[in-house]
Amino acid sequence: MRRLHALRPVEIDERGLELVSFCGHCGQRPDPLIASPSSRVCGHCALGLVLEAGAELAPRPEEPFLIVDTSLSICAMSVAAEALFAIDETDAVNQHIAEFLVPADANAPSAENLLALLVDVAAGCGEPCTTVVRPRQEFGVRFSARIGPCGSPRAALLVLA
Amino acid sequence: MRTLKTSEAAALLNVSPNTLRAWERRFGYPKPQRSAGRHRLYTHGEVAALRDALQQGLSISSAVSRAREALSTDTHTLVGALGGFELDRADSAMESALALRSVERAVEEVLLPSLDELGERFGTDSAPWAFAARWADGWLRRAQRLSPPPVRRLAILVGDATRSELDPDALAVRAFELFCGRSGARVMALPVAGVSGLSDVVTSFAPDAVVIAGSHLPDDDVALWAYRVRATAGPLPLALFRSSHQSAPVRTTGTRILSAEPFGALRQVLASIDERQSSEVAPLPVSQPEHDRREARR
């Protein structure tokens, strides 16, 4: 009986992968005890909306992450990313992703690859993947970035690790 | 315009009142007005625009940005209407703005920015500017006529130092007069260029504060007018609104430089009147021996 009690419903995406919810600002998983079931606003920080992404892609609370749409504009920035880029989310929103991150993968032929990848993912036709990026005009710093779809509405999630 | 209390706005957005106040601090939106009892009052239009934007948003910042954009369509509409010389459409744009905002905010967020944009686009010596400025002047005067009668025992005298209604500062001065009237104060605007018979008017009006608005007239004219007013009404708080000395950092004459925003300027004037009234302490009664000593000295 105790084992059955531990069962929980798992949401899956169209590829059959498990989806988890997280706050688009603090990155915390929503707590059903404090979150209103019909509200998309995070019950922990009240400054982000609850989004969904694949379990392997979804950020942990301490990981900086960005969310971009098909126009490659920043739609959300985590509190850890605010500290990393030294900018408030309110100022970062609607700026182009290239203002913040550029590819740092020596094997990548050009910056367009990262942008094309993000557009594809945000449009729902790209697969989750990992790449290497660096902050714009910063050298000697590289981040491994997990990129994949999130929503809703559909967008690309870029988690820096 | 429909307004909501904090609890009602929070319920519409499905968040707690604390969350709403946290958004106001972080995002500056929704921006409430204050009731007479200093309680927050949210405009329904702002809250509804945010609710719609949150449903489609990826973050609260982007939803706020989208909600602000939705509200700014009134400005675009008004600029388009006045740029196309369509008076009916301009009136409708202001009606739409008033459905979502108070008169003060509709003027400061829609009417004045639209006129600024038209002034920049065509120049303030152009026919399109004259068309738009006359319409805006007429709208503001109409709104002033429709304001409720004065309820406060406050009187604000405005010395109008603008050129004419085509002066870019004139609309802000008209807006300031409108807001004074809507705050319940009596307001009278007199041209700074005319000093003849001024003392009779000032004596009759008995102002609590004097605001010199605009920057068209030379300093000597302004100084003469202010001198005549003070000679009649005594040492009243004197303030400059939209003056060419707006950037002067320090004034040693006690003249206050007001905010360039009409509503901010009104708040400053009301605060200075309150300060003055609270600092006016009744003189202590003089004792009989002291009175006799004074009489003997005379």
Distance from CA of A3 to the nearest CA of B (A): 35
Residue A25 C-alpha from the chain's centroid: 10
CA distance B90 to B135: 9
Residue bearing the bigger pLDDT, B177 or B153? B177
Q: Each residue of A130-158: pLDDT tens digit?
A: 888 888 877 878 888 999 999 888 899 99
Distance from CA of A93 to the nearest CA of B (A): 6
Q: Which residues of chain A lie closer than 8 angstroms to B54, CB-CB?
A: 40-41, 49
Distance from CA of B48 to the nearest CA of A (A): 15
Interface probe for B, chosen from A89, A97, A157 (most Cβ of B below 10 Å), is: A89
Q: Which residues of chain A lie closer than 8 angstroms to B27, CB-CB?
A: 90
Q: Each residue of B132-173: pLDDT tens digit?
A: 999 999 999 999 988 888 777 889 999 999 988 899 899 999
Q: What is the pTM of this model?
A: 0.59
Q: Is residue B171 less than 8 Å (CB to CB) from chain A? A: no
Point out the least confidently predicted range of A35-44, B87-96, B288-297.
Answer: B288-297
Domain ranges of chain B: 3-141, 149-279
Top-level class of domain A2-160 = alpha beta
Terminal alpha carbon distance of chain A: 39
Closest among A27, A70, A19, A63 to A159, alpha carbons compared: A63
Structure tokens given for B226? 């202010």
Q: Is residue A35 less than 8 Å (CB to CB) from chain B? A: no
Q: Is residue B15 less than 8 Å (CB to CB) from chain A? A: yes
- Contact call for residues A81 and A59 (beta carbons, < 8 A): no
Q: Is residue A130 less than 8 Å (CB to CB) from chain B? A: no
Domain ranges of chain A: 2-160
Given CA atoms A53, A55, A57, A59 in this order, what sign does their dihedral have? Answer: positive
Structure tokens given for A114? 């990262």
CA distance B10 to B116: 35
Structure tokens given for B197? 């018979």
Distance from CA of A64 to the nearest CA of B (A): 15
Q: Which residues of chain A lie closer than 8 angstroms to B58, CB-CB?
A: 24, 49, 51, 67, 69, 75-76, 153, 155
Q: Each residue of B17-74: pLDDT tens digit?
A: 999 999 999 998 888 888 778 888 888 878 888 888 888 888 999 999 888 887 777 7
Q: Kind and range of the H or E element at B40?
A: strand B40-43
% pLDDT > 90, chain A = 31
Q: Which residue has the tokens 């302490």?
A: B281
Q: Is residue A71 less than 8 Å (CB to CB) from chain B? A: no
Distance from CA of B1 to the nearest CA of A (A): 27
Q: Which residue has the tokens 């988690």?
A: A159
Residue B219 C-alpha from the chain's centroid: 24
> Given this model, what pLDDT does residue B188 score?
92
Residue bearing the bigger pLDDT, A84 or A12? A84
Mean pLDDT on A30-41: 72
Above 60 in pLDDT, residue B248? no
CA distance B285 to A138: 75
Rg (chain A; Cα; Å): 16
> Given this model, what pLDDT does residue B249 score?
45
B87 by DSSP, 3-state: which?
A: helix
Cα–Cα separations (whole angstroms), residue A17 to A66, A126, A158 = 21, 15, 18
- pLDDT band (50, 70, 90) for residue B250: very low
Given an 8 Å threshold on Cβ–Cβ distance, is B19 in contact with A90? no
Average pLDDT, chain A: 83
Distance from CA of A109 to the nearest CA of B (A): 31
CATH architecture of B3-141: Orthogonal Bundle (1.10)
> Given this model, what pLDDT does residue B66 score?
86
Given an 8 Å threshold on Cβ–Cβ distance, is A25 in contact with B59? yes
At a CB cut-off of 8 Å and minimum separation 6, what does A54 contact? A13, A17, A18, A19, A20, A128, A148, A149
> Given this model, what pLDDT does residue B247 score?
52
Q: Which residues of chain A lie closer than 8 angstroms to B26, CB-CB?
A: 47, 90
Distance from CA of B112 to the nearest CA of A (A): 25
Q: Which residues of chain B lie closer than 8 angstroms to A67, CB-CB?
A: 58-59
Q: Is residue B27 less than 8 Å (CB to CB) from chain A? A: yes
Smallest Cβ–Cβ distance between B60 and the set A49, A67, A155 belongs to: A49
Cα–Cα separations (whole angstroms), residue B77 to B91, B113, B151, B187 = 10, 12, 35, 31
CA distance B113 to B226: 31
Given an 8 Å threshold on Cβ–Cβ distance, is A41 in contact with B61? no
Q: Which residues of chain B lie closer than 8 angstroms to A48, CB-CB?
A: 59-60
Interface probe for B, chosen from A36, A39, A52 (most Cβ of B below 10 Å), is: A39
Above 70 in pLDDT, residue A8? no
Structure tokens given for A98? 């290239």
Given an 8 Å threshold on Cβ–Cβ distance, is A49 in contact with B19? no
Q: Which residues of chain A lie closer than 8 angstroms to B13, CB-CB?
A: 41
Point out the least confidently predicted range of A126-130, B111-115, B167-171, B206-210.
Answer: A126-130
Terminal alpha carbon distance of chain B: 65
* Fold observed for domain B149-279: Rossmann fold (3.40.50)
- pLDDT band (50, 70, 90) for residue B237: confident
Mean pLDDT on B185-214: 89
Average pLDDT, chain B: 84
> Given this model, what pLDDT does residue B196 score?
84
